[in-house]
Amino acid sequence: MTARAHALSTRLLHAGLGAFDDSGAAPVNVPVVRTSTVRFASGADYERLHRLRHDGENVATYGRHGTATHRALEAAIGELEGADHTLLAPSGMAAITLAFLSLLSPGEHALIQDSVYGPVRERLEPLLARLGIDVTYFAAKDGVPAHALRPDTRLVYVESPGSFLYEIADLPALGAFAEQHGLILAADNTWSAGWLHQPLAHGAHVSVQASTKYIGGHSDLMQGAISTNDPGLALRFRDTHEALGLAVGADDAYLALRGIRTLGVRLARHAQNALEVAQFLQQERAVARVFHPALPDDPGHALWRRDFSGANGLVSFAFEDGDIARAGRFIDSLQLFSLGASWGGYESLALLAPPSRLRPHSYFSGDAPVVRLHVGLEDAADLIDDLRRAFRLTCT
Ligand SMILES: *Cc1c(COP(=O)(O)O)cnc(C)c1O
């Protein structure tokens, strides 16, 4: 056990360690415990444990509720998020949908940051519409969305930094706005993984993240988590979680737990490499604008410095002109950056976004294609050489 007084790096390594058995020994890592059925020693134990679960305790009476492996991961993510209650989901998207379905009813309204993860807009919004739930998008750069507030508004949902361009929301200001109007503030914390930023300590009631990304860290699992310090919300999440049957495999929980132990050192290296790449891109003639909050001239830099303890490996840049075919040739010329969606693994990735894809983001109104890089753990000079080569081949 470690006290909250310890640094996060210390607490994270000591959260959810394997328990000692009767011999007084224990493995370092909690084992992969797989089960569907839970056996009970007696009818009295069956009754007691089911009563505890009914009263909101996170005990397992069936495999769908998870096992010791899942409890250990929940404890570790709880340390990251500064949360008393954490539930796992089979993907980040499942955790987000879990939040919306738990917090909103037909006839209610949500305010959503306009630079959210694409599938929230493309997949979740139509589902909410079918359920009679209305949404309005707002630009985080314009401050609190007072103009869009309605009598039926219940939820404000942000993703800070936002997808692709890393627009930073003023979370404490949104928290005060939510408090003032009796709203729930939920934040997608995937960018920071909880290591760089704790939404719950900055005014949010709910934090969700895709542990698929940096917590997994090795591009080999899908997972999400939802965290809160509000016991009433925790119960709502648990009930909806049960209704949706959101079971997470024990092997994936184990992999995420293994990833979490090295999260801090990986993120530090991602951030260092990303900053070097971002500074290189700023010097490049074919590049009009570089998006990365650790750059002093990024519009979100001051808020990022105030509310975050570091950056990650994501850097995006806009080309000088709108030649989409040439941007495609650039992407194809890269050798160390694979082409792929997602990010958070050890490897470098590149993804091309046509202007149409970014149009919903009021943060950037240009008509040039944008490339998102996930800068991996390779040698930064090698990655920069790869980018320089691709620019020379396609942009001269
Ligand atoms: C990837 C991502 C998600 C979705 O996570 P999955 O595990 O792929 O479902 C949600 N939010 C953000 C910001 C993401 O980058």
| Separation between Cα atoms, residue 185 and residue 193, nearest integer Å | 18
Which pLDDT tens digit goes with each residue over 160-195?
Answer: 999 999 999 999 999 999 999 999 999 999 999 999
Nearest CA to ligand 1 atom 8: 92
| Separation between Cα atoms, residue 34 and residue 321, nearest integer Å | 53
Tokens describing residue 4: 């909250």
- The rounded Å distance from CA 190 to ligand 1 centre is 7
Domain ranges in the chain? 8-36+67-260, 263-394
Give the pLDDT of residue 3.
59
Tokens describing residue 382: 């090698």
| Separation between Cα atoms, residue 91 and residue 252, nearest integer Å | 11
Tokens describing residue 215: 């917590």
Sign of the CA dihedral running 251, 255, 256, 261? positive
Which pLDDT tens digit goes with each residue over 237-262?
Answer: 999 999 999 999 999 999 999 999 99
- Atom of ligand 1 at shortest range from CA of 212: 7
Cβ(147)–Cβ(165) under 8 Å? Answer: no
- Atom of ligand 1 at shortest range from CA of 190: 13
Nearest CA to ligand 1 atom 11: 117
Q: CA of 96: how far to CAs of 42, 89, 103, 124, 210, in Å? A: 38, 9, 11, 9, 9
Which pLDDT tens digit goes with each residue over 107-151?
Answer: 999 999 999 999 999 999 999 999 999 999 999 999 999 999 999
Nearest CA to ligand 1 atom 5: 92
CATH 3.20.20.70 fits 8-36+67-260, yes or no: no
| Separation between Cα atoms, residue 294 and residue 312, nearest integer Å | 9
Using a 6 Å CB cutoff, which residues line ligand 1?
91-93, 117, 159, 163, 188, 190, 210, 212-213, 222, 224, 342
Q: Which amino acid is at 309?
A: S
Tokens describing residue 58: 């996170």
- What's the whole-number average pLDDT of the chain? 95
Cβ(235)–Cβ(226) under 8 Å? Answer: no
- Atom of ligand 1 at shortest range from CA of 211: 7
pLDDT over 70 for what percent of the chain? Answer: 99
In 15-78, DSSP assigns E strands to: none
- Residue 354 confidence (pLDDT) above 80: no
Cβ(18)–Cβ(67) under 8 Å? Answer: no
In the chain, DSSP assigns E strands to: 85-89, 109-113, 134-138, 153-159, 184-188, 206-210, 224-228, 287-291, 314-319, 338-339, 349-353, 370-374
- Atom of ligand 1 at shortest range from CA of 93: 9
Question: Looking at the DSSP assignment, which residues form a beta bridge with residue 185?
Answer: 156
| Separation between Cα atoms, residue 138 and residue 114, nearest integer Å | 5
- Atom of ligand 1 at shortest range from CA of 95: 9
| Separation between Cα atoms, residue 207 and residue 225, nearest integer Å | 8
Model confidence at 1, pLDDT cuts 50, 70, 90, reads very low
- Residue 17 confidence (pLDDT) above 90: no
- Indicate if 263-394 has the same CATH topology as 8-36+67-260: no
- The rounded Å distance from CA 263 to ligand 1 centre is 17
Nearest to 172 by CA among 210, 137, 203, 129: 203
CATH 3.40.190.10 fits 263-394, yes or no: no
Average pLDDT over residues 354-381: 87
Nearest to 202 by CA among 213, 224, 186: 186
- The rounded Å distance from CA 347 to ligand 1 centre is 17
Range scoring the smallest mean pLDDT among 8-22, 113-127, 333-347: 8-22
- Atom of ligand 1 at shortest range from CA of 213: 1
| Separation between Cα atoms, residue 368 and residue 323, nearest integer Å | 7
| Separation between Cα atoms, residue 387 and residue 396, nearest integer Å | 14
* 128: enclosing H helix or E strand: helix 125-130
Task: Classify strands 349-353 and 338-339 as parallel, antiparallel or unpaired.
Answer: parallel
Nearest to 372 by CA among 349, 393, 391, 390: 349
| Separation between Cα atoms, residue 247 and residue 94, nearest integer Å | 11
Nearest CA to ligand 1 atom 6: 92
- The rounded Å distance from CA 390 to ligand 1 centre is 28
- The rounded Å distance from CA 140 to ligand 1 centre is 19
**Positions marked active-site:** 64, 117, 188, 213
Nearest CA to ligand 1 atom 4: 92
- The rounded Å distance from CA 101 to ligand 1 centre is 17
- The rounded Å distance from CA 22 to ligand 1 centre is 41
| Separation between Cα atoms, residue 281 and residue 273, nearest integer Å | 12
Report the residue among 116, 168, 213, 219 best suited for mutation to probe ligand 1: largest number of ligand atoms under 8 A from its CB: 213
Report the residue among 190, 252, 349, 374 best suited for mutation to probe ligand 1: largest number of ligand atoms under 8 A from its CB: 190
